[in-house]
Amino acid sequence: MDALECPQNEIWNTRKDWIESEIEESMTGFSYMVSDHATALFMDLQICYCAGAFLSVIILSVSIIDAHLRETEALDTNIGTAKLLNDFYTGQDINWLRQLRNKYVHINLNSPALKIDDQYDNREIMEVDVRKAIKMILHALFQSPGT
């Protein structure tokens, strides 16, 4: 597949079905307060994932978790992201996700994190990271049932 081609419908639908299944699994039947801002971003992230825009998914992931935790847990728009995630995210590996996102967003001239070939040669590894990130988002969105 060419990097700028739309994925086949089968691939799109498989990814869409996976996300929907993960959402269903994450909800335990309670009510949740979910950030409207985070939900809007998550809708865009789902399109990115289905289209195969894996770098965008990683970058959006931290923003979604950040927005949700600020609005529903911390109630603070001034706290730094690293502190926010460490203090209010109850799952594991949040620093892995933040550091991966930072590697993609902030260029390091001495040790570049990305090469154009990654878009062709590392798709499978990137998709594993993306699925982990999506699961982390869902954990954040549904970590406080009954609110």
Report if residue 87 sits inside a domain. yes
On whether residue 2 sits in a domain, the answer given is: no
Q: Is residue 106 a part of any domain in this protein?
A: yes
Residues 24 and 70: their CA atoms lie apart, in Å, by: 24
State the pLDDT at residue 55: 96
pLDDT at 118: 85
Q: In the chain, how many domains are there?
A: 1
On whether residue 147 sits in a domain, the answer given is no
pLDDT value for 31? 79
Q: What is the pTM of this model?
A: 0.91
Full residue range of the structural domain in which residue 112 is found = 9-141
Amino acid at 63: S
Residues 6+ apart with CB under 8 A from 126: 54, 55, 118
User: Any residues with CB less than 8 A from the CB of 71 and at least 6 apart, and which?
Assistant: 35, 36, 37, 38
Alpha carbon distance 124, 145 (integer Å): 33
3 by Cβ neighbours in 10 Å (0-12 / 13-18 / 19+) ranks as: exposed
Along the 147 residues of the chain, how does pLDDT read in single tens digits? Answer: 566 678 899 999 999 999 999 999 998 767 788 899 999 999 999 999 999 999 999 999 999 999 999 999 999 999 999 999 999 999 899 999 999 999 999 998 998 888 888 888 899 999 999 999 999 999 999 998 775
**Residue 3 domain-assigned (yes or no):** no
